[in-house]
Amino acid sequence: MKNNKKESFIKEQLGKILQNDLLQFTVVALVVSIALFALYGLSSLFQSGEEGIAFFITRGLHIIIVCFLAWTLMRLFRLVGVGLFQKKTNKYVPRYVMTLFNWLVIIGAVLFITVSIFGQPAWALVTAGGLVGAGLAFSIQGIIMDMISGLILDVEHTYKTGDWIKLNDNTIGRVLKTTWRHIEVETEYKTLIVIPNGRLVANSYENLSHYKGVYAEHLIVSIDYNITVERVERILTDALLSIKEVVETGIYAVFAEKTTEGGMNYTLRYGVRGYDSLRLMRHKVIKTVVEKLHASNLKISETFGEYILSKAIPFSLSPETSITDVLRKVSLFAVLTDNELENLSSKVTRHLVDVGHELITKNDTTDSLFVIAEGVVDVIIPLTKNQVTKDHVVATLGEGNFVGDRSLLLGEPRSATVRARTKVLTYEVNKEAFQPILQARPSLINDLSKIVVEREQDTSKKINDASQTKEEVQTLQAEIIKGMKKFFGL
């Protein structure tokens, strides 16, 4: 048993040793050298002279030795020269450089054999080779240009296998293979295009995978002139910030670009992590934008093919109907009847909050809830790490969300600061407006407490990365029910 383990260990170590390229080269060189010296010694046993066997064997051995030395030089350049350069500089050595060096060594070896071993004049060989080379170069100049272009591209290293590139004719594809003459590109539609290297050098192309896999894409949306720029900016920014992948890239912006016959053109700029996800991200952005726009009374323009706000009465100019629609989307008020929603909407207060201003300040004692109709807000709490306290954004909320539910339902001080990331249109619901509904239907307390518990569970997962047990949830709900009854005098 011990012998088997020992043999396995020896084989494993031997395998690791043989995987070393430099060691393999040394072993091969040593074996070939011993063989050459043995053959050279044997040649002395045969008849000498220019017509003897020893003469031909000796000449053959000289040729073999020159070839072996050339091979040795090429291997040393690859293993030692290139290897050490890449290790010390951490830079890629193009394979074309190694191939070019190998060709120079081979040409040098051929010249040496022709002149030194066969005794041919060097000038005649160079002259004849030059004439033949000139004629050959003229006949295949296109191939030569492609090869030189390939060398230039590989030295500059502007793209690599797997990168997405865009040519000046808007052809887009992924680089599958590079050769001396051309590159092979697979397009988005799974077709294969062979592009000569000379074309890449002569024309411009864009490497879509160059900037660490993250770059900016854009979408143009056309909105009716009657809608204010500020309001459109709130809606579209909310749409972008509703997509997690866009927020993670840190690239999101909305600009009013120009006026057209169809309305005002807005450009939505958003980040894409890798060209592979371009189509999926564009789908998500369009889907979210359409949902947000339609939620604000939108229709698709048949004339211009973009998204255009309908010419109905603007949202902010019909408060009774519009506010009811907004409240109906809020999960906390989903348990209310239409009559209760109508009564509540008549008592809310409308606010338009500028960027950077606070809707809610931590530890404030006001007893109201804010419903976000348009725009985006950040929910911020202070977190201490390594004895350093910093504000931390625990949630980013947009249209249809609400903040301040515990203050409205339990009268508790504000537990977080809520700050406007964009301009925000919000509606404030206070205790005075909500109390008549609970007094008329006290059974709502159970449904409302469940919604509050669910929200707090989600917040707990985001902050502490932990979920509550069933018993803890039941205890929390009981405490909320008790607190609501006390706060509203039920």
Radius of gyration of the chain measured on its C-alpha atoms? 38
End-to-end CA distance of the chain: 82
219 and 273 within one domain = yes
The whole-number pLDDT of residue 301 equals 46
pLDDT band of residue 419 (cuts 50, 70, 90) is: very high
CA distance 412 to 363: 9
Structural domain contains residue 49: yes
Angle between helices 431-440 and 444-464 (to 10 degrees): 130
Structure tokens at 138: 């003229």
CB atoms within 10 A of CB 404: 24
CA distance 75 to 131: 32
Structural domain contains residue 16: no
Sheet holding 182-187, edge to edge: 192-196, 182-187, 172-178, 164-167, 205-207
Task: Tell me if 393 sits within 8 A of 378, measured CB to CB.
Answer: yes
Which amino acid type is present at position 167? L
Task: Tell me if 66 sits within 8 A of 81, measured CB to CB.
Answer: no
**CA nearest neighbour of 480 among 463, 464, 456, 461:** 456
The whole-number pLDDT of residue 272 equals 84
Q: Mean pLDDT across the chain, nearest whole number?
A: 73
Sequence-ordered alpha helix ranges (H) in 44-94: 53-76, 83-89
How many domains does one find in the chain?
4
Say if residue 385 is exposed, middle or buried (CB neighbours under 10 Å; 0-12, 13-18, 19+): exposed
> Quick check: 98 pLDDT over 80?
no
Average pLDDT of the segment spanning 244-251: 85
457 and 382 within one domain = yes
Sign of CA dihedral 332, 337, 338, 343: negative
Ranges assigned E (strand) in 233-320: 252-260, 263-273, 298-300, 307-309
- 254, 280, 309 — which closes off a domain? 309
The whole-number pLDDT of residue 370 equals 93
171 and 72 within one domain = no
CA distance 186 to 173: 5
Ranges assigned E (strand) in 61-204: 164-167, 172-178, 182-187, 192-196
- 260, 279, 309 — which closes off a domain? 309
The whole-number pLDDT of residue 212 equals 62
Structural domain contains residue 150: no
CA distance 56 to 63: 11
What digits encode the pLDDT tens for the residues 127-140? 655 655 555 555 55
435 and 299 within one domain = no
Structural domain contains residue 148: no
> Quick check: 313 pLDDT over 80?
no
Structural domain contains residue 224: yes
Task: Tell me if 72 sits within 8 A of 29, measured CB to CB.
Answer: yes
CATH number at residue 324: 2.60.120.10
Share of the chain above pLDDT 90, in %: 3
Q: Classify strands 263-273 and 214-223 as parallel, antiparallel or unpaired.
A: antiparallel
The whole-number pLDDT of residue 7 equals 57
Instruction: Give me the domain span that covers residue 256.
Output: 214-309
> Quick check: 118 pLDDT over 70?
no
279 and 134 within one domain = no
Say if residue 212 is exposed, middle or buried (CB neighbours under 10 Å; 0-12, 13-18, 19+): exposed
Structure tokens at 2: 């011990």
202 and 109 within one domain = no
CA distance 283 to 272: 12
CA distance 411 to 409: 6
> Quick check: 199 pLDDT over 60?
yes
> Quick check: 311 pLDDT over 50?
no
pLDDT band of residue 418 (cuts 50, 70, 90) is: very high
> Quick check: 260 pLDDT over 80?
no
89 and 35 within one domain = yes
More confident residue, 34 or 172: 172
348 and 376 within one domain = yes
**CA nearest neighbour of 451 among 429, 484, 428, 418:** 484
- 139, 168, 196 — which closes off a domain? 139
CA trace torsion 144, 145, 150, 151 (10° rounding): 80
When mean pLDDT is compared over 17-21, 42-46, 469-473, the highest value belongs to 469-473
353 and 330 within one domain = yes
Which amino acid type is present at position 365? T
Task: Tell me if 93 sits within 8 A of 82, measured CB to CB.
Answer: yes
Q: Which helix (H) or strand (E) holds 369?
A: strand 368-374
327 and 445 within one domain = yes
The mean-pLDDT minimum among 38-47, 105-114, 283-292, 396-405 falls in 38-47
Structure tokens at 287: 């889907």
249 and 189 within one domain = no
275 and 396 within one domain = no
The whole-number pLDDT of residue 306 equals 41
Task: Tell me if 181 sits within 8 A of 197, measured CB to CB.
Answer: yes
Structural domain contains residue 401: yes
What digits encode the pLDDT tens for the residues 32-46? 555 655 555 555 545
Q: Which helix (H) or strand (E) holds 366?
A: none
The whole-number pLDDT of residue 91 equals 62
Which amino acid type is present at position 374? E
Structural domain contains residue 147: no
